[in-house]
Structure 1
Amino acid sequence: MIKTAVAGANALTRRWVASIDPDGSVAVSGAGVWPLLAYLAPAAGGDGRDELTSAVGLSADEAAAGAAALVELLQSTPGLRAAIGAWVHPELKLRPQWSDSLPPGAVGVLGEQAVLDAWVREQTDGLLDRMPLTIDPETLLVLASALVARTRWIEPFADGMLRPEAGPWSGRRLAGLHRTTADRDLLAVYETPAGPVTVLTVEGADGIDVDLVIGLPDAPAAAVLAAGVDAPSAVPSRRGSQFAEADTAPGVTVGTGYDHDDTPRLLASLPRFTVTSSHDLLAHADVFGLRTVSDLSSQRLPGVSDFPLGVGAAAQDLTASFTADGFEAAVVTAFDMRAGGAPSGRPLQVRLLLDRPFGFVARHRSSGLVLVAGWVAQGEAWLGRAGLSA
């Protein structure tokens, strides 16, 4: 079941990133949305049920079990934390079959906004401070998920400065991260319909990896990010150790090392970054199978309650940071339910320089579950060594 659930969540992330057209930095988490959709799918009726099961990738009979399996994976994995919460209006009676499908202790009484915001702060260790939805007198049920991912790099980066010489970041002084490693095969190039895409895997100590992805300068961000999501199931055209002198790829140059250094190496430089995003999921309702259940003209969720319900709002807030020491991300998603070849001589040095917009994909290593995927349109500014130590 967990393999099917992971495949469904990753497919949702893949569809979501393919639909983005970022004007700036952006990040999404299909893993944060998918369990909520899976809990709703068996409770929906008619076309809404069909749309939700299609979005989830599981039958209605399997969806709730898939959600439970995914949440259990997230809760039992070092470096990850997850929670499901549901708050119900005192006068709304839930069907026991649906409420019992939620994790034990997940259901509470809907009251003040401050209670929901406090839950967000508790579940994300303060990385996020409020529920992405604001309740009002018409809110009858709130269903939410929280996800936190933290890892420290097995091989950390060094802080420094990065000053791009060309492209949209040309002339800027950015807070740079630099690392040299002997494992050149952490870098791979994939051929895609949008051209070659370079992927660098940064390994975390808690079974969480972050793939940094960059395409050609004119490649759409959505296509580059989609390639990053797909990378584990694709075959690379080249790995870092297969580069020859003067070979190139997006972000990559190849040359020879210093005379005294006889070890081939992979050098990587990128800006430190923090990406924060807020998403109205109903703006892309078809991606999430929410088109019909968000129509409040009739009963859309008969499996939740005898009282007619529909999804009045759906939103996600997210923050993700990549630093010299590691990666940290927090996601809260909520639904508001309402009525209605090498040359001779010196060794080759393969260098990846991310000095223009690029993407990132954080995933659970053993299951392949994509936790967060995003696009970095701007790196952090260099504040000098005083700023780094602050």
Structure 2
Amino acid sequence: MTRPLLLGFAAVLVATCAAAAGPVTAAPRGLVTADLARQAPPPGGPAPAVVDGLTDVGYQLSRRAAAPDGNWVMSPLSIACAFAMARAGAGGETAAQLDRIFHFPPAGTHEAFNALDRQLAPDGGPLRIANALWAQPGLPIGKPFLRTLAEQYGSGVRTVDFRSPGATEAIDAWVREQTNGRIRKLFDRLDPDTKAVLANAIYFKADWRTAFLSTDPGASFTRPDGSTVKAPMMNQVASLAYAEGPGWRAVEVPYKTGDYAMWVLLPEPSGGAPLDLLAPDTLAAVGKGLRPAFVDMTMPKWEFDASFDLLAVMRELGFTAVGDFSGINPHLYLGQAVHRATITVDEEGTEAAAVTGMAMPVSAGPRPEVTFRADRPFAFAIMHTPTRTPAFIGTVTDPTA
């Protein structure tokens, strides 16, 4: 069965996951990962489990973040990759909640994402995936975490001073480079206490196998409230894959390169909202039901983007333990998480990009259990603690005297 990779609202980019993996490349240069090469993933493994998990979390996030009657685009793949990297440094309840929300398998999560990356984004394919870590100079980072990032995600660590404006500029420059300029920035504002940032970027560009013809620059398109708007429409008549089920119909429109296609899912007039068709069960039914058919296919051109506070929506899914990333650094917590995505669809094909970023400040520590304010006369003793020997003792009655 074809497994879905969500990149749209009522339109879904689907990878049929070719088995060939891309070549092993050296990890980018970093603090301690300069000599660690990305590992070739082992055969088999739990990659289907992580695909099922990111498909479900994509739908759950969309239900909470998308405006019911608005355009919507996001990349569950980008979000899952970013949180999988964070999971490599998570512990305790933080790790348990991430496993529950993303359905990460008990073992082999990072190897599975490594394998999935190679299947989805081989060299020369229409999809590119990039991962990155930035850290404050001097911040101690767990070596096992850095090894996992280098060997399984192809990422080293870059040092940047988050107290300077150059930090945001460096991160945004990476975002622009990895998304071919489609996304210009990651954070609207970066917390000045940030000490580390994890990011994933995805870029997709492919032409249709059969180009559409522009048919009507101002055809009528009915909006959710029943009103109409004039929209540019395009058409192709071709042999495509078609499926239908209770309350919906779907067409698979293939791209020229790679094992990718767009699923266009259309609810029946009496059916539910388009967003409902992104439910994992419905996508599975589409994959099982697709059959060759000669289709007269008409749809509009579109271009829009979306962004949202990912951490706020993750809290709605039950991710509340944001403080245990001890595998990265014992003092870090997740302070910000954002997601941005954009898509353009026209007669020639599709261009889409997404970026997910997580900013981690240093925790202020637990709330004090005792308040001790020496603002009146007190005594002191300089002690050798093993033997309890007082080397100096004294009192302070007027510190200004």
TM-score, normalized by length of structure 1? 0.71
Conserved in 2, the CA contact under 8 Å of 1:88 and 1:141? Answer: yes
Aligned to 2:219: 163
Pick from 332, 353, 360: which aligns with 1:309?
332
Pick from 98, 104, 107: which aligns with 2:157?
107
After TM superposition, give the deviation of residue 95 of structure 1 in Å: 0.3
After TM superposition, give the deviation of residue 312 of structure 1 in Å: 0.4
Give yes or no for the alignment of 1:71 onto 2:117: yes
Aligned to 1:55: 101
After TM superposition, give the deviation of residue 239 of structure 1 in Å: 5.7
After TM superposition, give the deviation of residue 34 of structure 1 in Å: 0.6
Tell me, which stretches of 5 or more residues in structure 1 are unaligned? 242-264, 294-298, 341-390
Aligned to 1:333: 356
Q: 1:235 to 1:79 in 2, by over 3 A?
A: closer
* Separation in structure 2 between the aligned mates of residue 140 and residue 41 of structure 1, nearest angstrom: 17
* Separation in structure 2 between the aligned mates of residue 83 and residue 12 of structure 1, nearest angstrom: 21
* Separation in structure 2 between the aligned mates of residue 68 and residue 6 of structure 1, nearest angstrom: 12
Structure 2: which amino acid aligns with 1:68? N
- Render the CA deviation track for 1:45-65: whole Å, top value 9, x for unaligned: 222111111223224542222
Conserved in 2, the CA contact under 8 Å of 1:55 and 1:287? Answer: no
After TM superposition, give the deviation of residue 286 of structure 1 in Å: 4.4
Aligned to 1:280: 309
Conserved in 2, the CA contact under 8 Å of 1:213 and 1:224? Answer: yes
TM-score, normalized by length of structure 2? 0.69
Q: 1:152 to 1:273 in 2, by over 3 A?
A: same
Give yes or no for the alignment of 1:174 onto 2:203: no
Structure 1: which amino acid aligns with 2:251? L
**Count of residues paired in the alignment:** 304
Give yes or no for the alignment of 1:116 onto 2:171: yes
After TM superposition, give the deviation of residue 150 of structure 1 in Å: 1.3
* Separation in structure 2 between the aligned mates of residue 229 and residue 123 of structure 1, nearest angstrom: 32
Q: 1:154 to 1:37 in 2, by over 3 A?
A: same
After TM superposition, give the deviation of residue 232 of structure 1 in Å: 5.6
Tell me, which stretches of 5 or more residues in structure 2 are unaligned? 1-44, 162-166, 364-401
After TM superposition, give the deviation of residue 309 of structure 1 in Å: 1.4
After TM superposition, give the deviation of residue 317 of structure 1 in Å: 0.7
Structure 2: which amino acid aligns with 1:159? S
Structure 2: which amino acid aligns with 1:46? G
Q: In terms of mean alpha carbon deviation, does 150-159 or 226-235 score higher?
A: 226-235
Aligned to 1:7: 52
Percent of residue pairs bearing the same amino acid type: 22
Q: 1:42 to 1:323 in 2, by over 3 A?
A: same
* Separation in structure 2 between the aligned mates of residue 102 and residue 214 of structure 1, nearest angstrom: 40
Conserved in 1, the CA contact under 8 Å of 2:307 and 2:338? Answer: yes
* Separation in structure 2 between the aligned mates of residue 272 and residue 228 of structure 1, nearest angstrom: 27
Q: 1:154 to 1:83 in 2, by over 3 A?
A: same
Q: Which has the higher contact order (CA 8 A, sep 6+)?
A: 1
After TM superposition, give the deviation of residue 110 of structure 1 in Å: 2.3
Structure 2: which amino acid aligns with 1:175? P
Q: 1:137 to 1:227 in 2, by over 3 A?
A: closer
- Render the CA deviation track for 1:237-269: whole Å, top value 9, x for unaligned: x9685xxxxxxxxxxxxxxxxxxxxxxx42121
- Render the CA deviation track for 1:174-202: whole Å, top value 9, x for unaligned: 11111111x2x5221122xxxx1111111
* Separation in structure 1 between the aligned mates of residue 147 and residue 332 of structure 2, nearest angstrom: 18
* Separation in structure 2 between the aligned mates of residue 118 and residue 272 of structure 1, nearest angstrom: 29
Q: 1:18 to 1:136 in 2, by over 3 A?
A: closer
Aligned to 2:250: 199
- Render the CA deviation track for 1:4-57: whole Å, top value 9, x for unaligned: 332332232233234444331111111001112112224222221111112232
Q: SS of 1:49's equivalent?
A: helix
Q: 1:96 to 1:171 in 2, by over 3 A?
A: closer
Give yes or no for the alignment of 1:269 onto 2:298: yes
Q: 1:146 to 1:102 in 2, by over 3 A?
A: same
- The aligned runs of 1:75-94 (5 Å cut-off) are 75-76=121-122, 78-94=125-141
Aligned to 1:250: none
Structure 2: which amino acid aligns with 1:213? L
Conserved in 1, the CA contact under 8 Å of 2:49 and 2:105? Answer: no
- Render the CA deviation track for 1:271-297: whole Å, top value 9, x for unaligned: 10012000211221146663211xxxx
Q: 1:205 to 1:232 in 2, by over 3 A?
A: farther
* Separation in structure 2 between the aligned mates of residue 17 and residue 50 of structure 1, nearest angstrom: 22
Pick from 297, 300, 305: which aligns with 2:324?
300
* Separation in structure 1 between the aligned mates of residue 305 and residue 68 of structure 2, nearest angstrom: 13
- The aligned runs of 1:178-257 (5 Å cut-off) are 178-181=235-238, 183=239, 186-191=241-246, 196-206=247-257, 207-217=259-269, 219-226=272-279, 230-231=283-284, 235-236=288-289
